[in-house]
Amino acid sequence: MDKIKKVVLAYSGGLDTSIIIPWLKENYDGCEVIAMAADLGQGEELSGLEERAIGTGASKLYIEDLKEELVNEFIIPCLKANAVYEGKYLLGTSFARPIIAKRLVEIAAKENADAIAHGCTGKGNDQVRFELGIKAFAPGMKIIAPWRLWDIKSRDEEIDYAIEKNIPIKLTRETNYSKDRNLWHLSHEGLDLEDPANEPMYDKILELSVSPEKAPDEPTYVTLSFEKGIPTKIDGVEYSPVEIIQKLNELGGKNGIGIVDLVENRLVGMKSRGVYETPGGTILYYAHKEIESLCLDRETAHYKELVSVKFGELVYFGQWYTPLREALSAFVDKTQETVTGEVKLKLYKGNILTAGITSPYSLYSEEIATFGEDEVYDQKDAEGFINLFGLPIAVKAKLIDKK
């Protein structure tokens, strides 16, 4: 192994990073391990983290509160872009990794560390997201990825290693789902979910939500206010974006909103299956698209759909700190200048229904769109429009007739 005196480890306190601390010390000649945990809104998962990190051999633990940064610098830009990966995944893990990578680099510089380590597997997307983020700020930094180096081949073998080294862990082989939680979402992978033929055991795995069957029998109404594409109020009460997500998580979770069973195409080439809980985020994405339906003209709205797909891919692939992502964000920000107004939603047993949209910048004209009599639209004009719009079709049809 290379001579490494000091390593900064991206630390969660889960199975992977718990065993990585002693592994690093064993394989890099007793190097100092400094752990860094990002507080991204995972709540009770941070409880007792310092004791666990120090107990397994870390010299210190940084717990960095990055919730505001995560929401304002990553989630809000993705929301404004309507960025989704493969039509279903709201990027909860994806946009959390670049912010962690950036802070790892900052702490490594502060501590004069020789390397940064992470617990991502060689099969996953997160190894790419972390390492591209590190390269963006410290291109010469040594990166240690134990899953690509050690002899451990499975999570069962990780548990064996933890038992051998007397490392306390909070799971068993039967409950060993791979999870990622932050303010935005909670993901579940592994065990029975590895077979797409298996229906998820929702009552067993859901933590942020209830299944639609267990949601209330009466609908819940909620009104969201937006200013330039950014959510600002719930039912007329102003909250910070962080508070809005927290409150909508509670509201959406109670109504079974935002549960997704997804088979996705990973960046490394394989397909994987997981269950995602994103109650508040699902409500926000739905409401944002509804207010845009009033405020964006057709050409901008349609082109923005193309940008949304590319934006989602960039985030999923870990390419946040790239010129293209920055350029797309500039385009998106321009489109949001008039995305202001209110959306009333009806939440019912996993469904979101629109109950009303208003905006001072609405492009919808009842006077023009009405089925009743009007004095602003001359229907005779449609004939000339159709003749010109259909001219290429007519010309081709005449050519075919000559053959």
The CATH number of the structural domain formed by 6-178 is 3.40.50.620
121-131 average pLDDT score = 96
256-274 average pLDDT score = 97
Share of the chain above pLDDT 90, in %: 84
For residue 174, the model assigns a pLDDT of 55
For residue 172, the model assigns a pLDDT of 57
Binding site for L-aspartate, by residue number, is 121, 125-126
User: What are the CA-CA distances from residue 240 to residues 71, 182, 226 (Å)?
Assistant: 10, 17, 12
* Secondary structure of residue 97 in the 3-state scheme: helix
State the DSSP code for 375.
S
Could you tell me which residues come within 8 angstroms of residue 137 by beta carbon, excluding any fewer than 6 positions away?
101, 102, 105, 106, 321
Does the pLDDT value for residue 386 go beyond 70? yes
Residues catalogued as catalytic: 16, 97, 126, 178
Beta partners for residue 304, in sequence order:
none
Binding site, by residue number, is 10-18, 38, 89, 94, 119, 121, 125-126, 129, 178, 187, 264, 276
Does the pLDDT value for residue 11 go beyond 60? yes
Token pair of 48, please?
Answer: 């007792």
Does the pLDDT value for residue 136 go beyond 90? yes
pTM here is 0.94
For residue 383, the model assigns a pLDDT of 94
> What architecture is the 185-296+339-358 domain classified under in CATH?
Alpha-Beta Complex (3.90)
pLDDT classification of 345: cutoffs 50, 70, 90 = very high
pLDDT classification of 159: cutoffs 50, 70, 90 = confident
pLDDT in tens, 165-202: 888 776 655 567 889 999 999 999 999 999 999 999 99
How far is Cα 52 from Cα 240, in angstroms, rounded to an integer? 33
How far is Cα 327 from Cα 323, in angstroms, rounded to an integer? 6
Extents of the domains making up the chain: 6-178, 185-296+339-358
* pLDDT averaged over every residue in the chain: 94
